[in-house]
């Protein structure tokens, strides 16, 4: 059995925020079966207690009749029913009267506004939406001009200050002008503190924004949402007329659809209160509104961050790169709804498109370049130092390479690589011979080493051990008859 407060929260999540049973159950920590059961109830039903007789039972109808005629107090009712024989106490009467007394209906005056005098703003929420690989809560900003009822709506996945101010800017651009006053509820983006009987303390950023655009801020009284009824009706209208039944596959698609809905439905309908189209009524209001300023206000949220050793800063579970030389440095981050800018001592060092996905890494290809250059220099220096150990002539050989070759480091790298294959003495000898023959290239060293590795041992000297035997040689007389020709006399 849930209590009444839980039931009301459940209904608000479902009816006002547009959450389904599964989402409500997850937020409130209840089972799907429980949530589904209570959302199908038209009203809260208390578990019926076991029927027990009460001393007050014979007088309950009398009490109801008295309350219908006049709002008597429990003490007055107790005196009356005691005269009729009730012998119970005050508490039982007070509890019953509190339970059955008709609720008081508070009356409100309808606020009226002159053309251009005021606009009202508020946030609405409606379930969640897919953004990349994640899911974010969907919010929407509504501004309504109080006289004409012309409406602006913009969807976001955040209600932070930069989004709040950006939505104002976009609304002013949509209207082409600025109202003289804006009424806000007591949300933290606008009002930092509000105590009954005291002037509200406005958010300094919002106050500066208002001064820039030339409007004053009016904060509603605490618990007096009726004071901005126009925009609250607008929030409800967006949910019922635009969002109800709308399939939202991705966040990117929703704002163009909302803009189309504004121009074809919301601002051209016959308004229920004025009985006129907002766009037609706006034509009468336009001349009373303030013009837009020449320059836009910088709406960025500014914060201090420190770059990691991987030259990254983190925002909303995403990582963004900065130039490698700023690894570990303290930097200034300016966050906009669509981008983020990173500064070092007022110098812009990095700029990225803002992502509302989660756990993504974004790197500018230019940012690691300096680190790669440094690493290459260190690697080249290490190879050069190794080259100098190959031979006493190595340093002189390198100077000649610099004079005669366009890329001496390439030749040094190849020669050092050859030292991993061939014996160090062989490489040293090849370097010295190449220097002697003024042959300065890695190809010559490689050919020299290869040829020498394939050479057979040189033959030794011939020694005659038994010379007398070797000199006693019989040579047979050759047969010269093969040279005789037919009919030829060799004596001639």
| pLDDT single digits (tens) 257-266 | 999 999 999 9
Beta bridge partners of 313: 320
| pLDDT tens, position by position, 165-219 | 999 999 999 999 999 999 998 788 888 887 666 778 888 899 899 999 999 998 8
Given a cut of 70, whether residue 111 has pLDDT beyond it is no
CA distance 134 to 127: 14
Residue with the bigger pLDDT between 471 and 94: it is: 94
CA distance 276 to 298: 37
Asked if 324 and 367 touch (Cβ cutoff 8 Å), the reply is yes
Given a cut of 70, whether residue 48 has pLDDT beyond it is no
CA distance 335 to 313: 12
Q: Which run of H or of E encompasses 320?
A: strand 318-321
- Quote the pTM value: 0.59
| DSSP-assigned states of every residue in 343-395 | EETTEEEEEEE---SSS-EE--TTTTHHHHHHHHHHHHHHHHHHHHTS-TTHH
| SS3 call for 195 | coil
pLDDT grade for 104, boundaries at 50, 70 and 90: low
CA distance 357 to 336: 15
CA distance 262 to 482: 122
Q: Which residue has the tokens 């008597």?
A: 72
| pLDDT tens, position by position, 67-81 | 888 888 888 898 888
Q: Which residue has the tokens 């035997």?
A: 469
**The CATH number of 119-288 is which of 2.60.40.420, 3.90.190.10, 3.40.30.10, 3.30.420.10?**
3.30.420.10
Residue with the bigger pLDDT between 298 and 66: it is: 298
Mean per-residue pLDDT for 31-47? Answer: 81
Looking at residue 48, the DSSP 8-state letter turns out to be P
Asked if 416 and 424 touch (Cβ cutoff 8 Å), the reply is no
| pLDDT tens, position by position, 315-339 | 999 999 999 889 999 999 999 999 9
Mean per-residue pLDDT for 27-52? Answer: 77
Tokens at 398, concatenated: 């390198």
CA dihedral for 320, 321, 327, 330, sign (positive or negative)? negative
CA distance 171 to 299: 14
| DSSP-assigned states of every residue in 439-479 | --SHHHHHHHHHHHHHPPPPP-----S-HHHHH----PPP-
pLDDT grade for 5, boundaries at 50, 70 and 90: low
Given a cut of 80, whether residue 483 has pLDDT beyond it is no
Pairing between β-strand 347-353 and β-strand 339-344 as defined by DSSP bridges: antiparallel
CA distance 395 to 406: 17
Asked if 303 and 333 touch (Cβ cutoff 8 Å), the reply is yes
CA distance 431 to 410: 16
CA distance 263 to 183: 24
């Amino acid at each position: 059995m849930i209590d009444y407060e839980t039931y009301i929260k459940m209904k608000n999540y479902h009816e006002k925020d547009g959450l389904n049973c599964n989402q409500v159950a997850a937020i409130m920590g209840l089972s799907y079966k429980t949530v589904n059961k209570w959302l199908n109830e038209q009203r809260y039903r208390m578990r019926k207690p076991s029927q027990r007789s009460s001393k007050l039972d014979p007088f309950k109808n009398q009490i109801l009749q008295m309350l219908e005629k006049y709002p008597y107090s429990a003490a007055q009712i107790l005196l009356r029913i005691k005269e009729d024989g009730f012998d119970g106490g005050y508490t039982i009467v007070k509890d019953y009267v509190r339970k059955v007394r008709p609720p008081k209906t508070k009356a409100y005056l309808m606020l009226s506004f002159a053309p251009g005098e005021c606009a009202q703003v508020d946030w609405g929420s409606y379930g969640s939406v897919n953004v990349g690989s994640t899911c974010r809560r969907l919010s929407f900003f509504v501004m309504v001009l109080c006289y004409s009822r012309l409406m602006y709506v913009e969807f976001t996945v955040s209600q932070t200050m930069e989004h709040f101010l950006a939505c104002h800017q976009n609304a002013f651009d949509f209207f082409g002008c600025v109202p003289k006053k804006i009424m806000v509820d007591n949300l933290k983006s606008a009002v930092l503190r509000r105590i009954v009987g005291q002037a509200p303390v406005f958010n300094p950023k919002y106050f500066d924004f208002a001064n820039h655009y030339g409007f004053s801020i009016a904060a509603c009284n605490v618990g007096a949402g009726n004071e901005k009824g126009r925009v609250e009706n607008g929030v409800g209208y967006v949910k019922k007329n635009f969002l109800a039944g709308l399939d939202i596959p991705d966040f990117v698609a929703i704002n163009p659809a909302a803009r189309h809905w504004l121009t074809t439905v919301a601002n051209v309908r016959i308004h229920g209160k004025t009985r006129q189209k907002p766009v037609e009524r706006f034509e009468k209001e336009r001349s009373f509104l303030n013009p837009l300023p020449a320059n836009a206000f910088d709406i960025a949220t500014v914060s201090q961050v420190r770059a990691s050793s991987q030259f990254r800063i983190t925002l909303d579970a995403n990582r963004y790169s900065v130039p490698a030389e700023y690894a570990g440095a303290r930097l200034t981050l300016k966050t906009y709804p669509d981008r983020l800018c990173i500064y070092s001592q007022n110098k812009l060092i990095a700029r990225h498109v803002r992502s509302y996905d989660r756990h993504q890494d974004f790197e500018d290809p230019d940012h690691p370049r300096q680190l790669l250059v440094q690493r290459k220099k260190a690697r080249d220096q290490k190879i050069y130092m190794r080259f100098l150990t190959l031979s006493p002539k190595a340093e002189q050989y390198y100077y000649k390479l610099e004079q005669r070759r366009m890329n001496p480091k390439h030749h040094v790298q190849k020669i050092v690589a050859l030292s991993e294959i061939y014996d160090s003495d062989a490489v040293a000898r090849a370097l010295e011979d190449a220097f002697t023959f003024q042959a300065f290239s890695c190809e010559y060293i490689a050919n020299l080493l290869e040829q020498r590795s394939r050479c057979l041992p040189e033959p030794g000297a011939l020694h005659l051990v038994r010379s007398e035997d070797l000199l006693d040689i019989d040579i047979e007389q050759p047969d010269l008859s093969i040279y005789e020709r037919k009919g030829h006399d060799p004596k001639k």
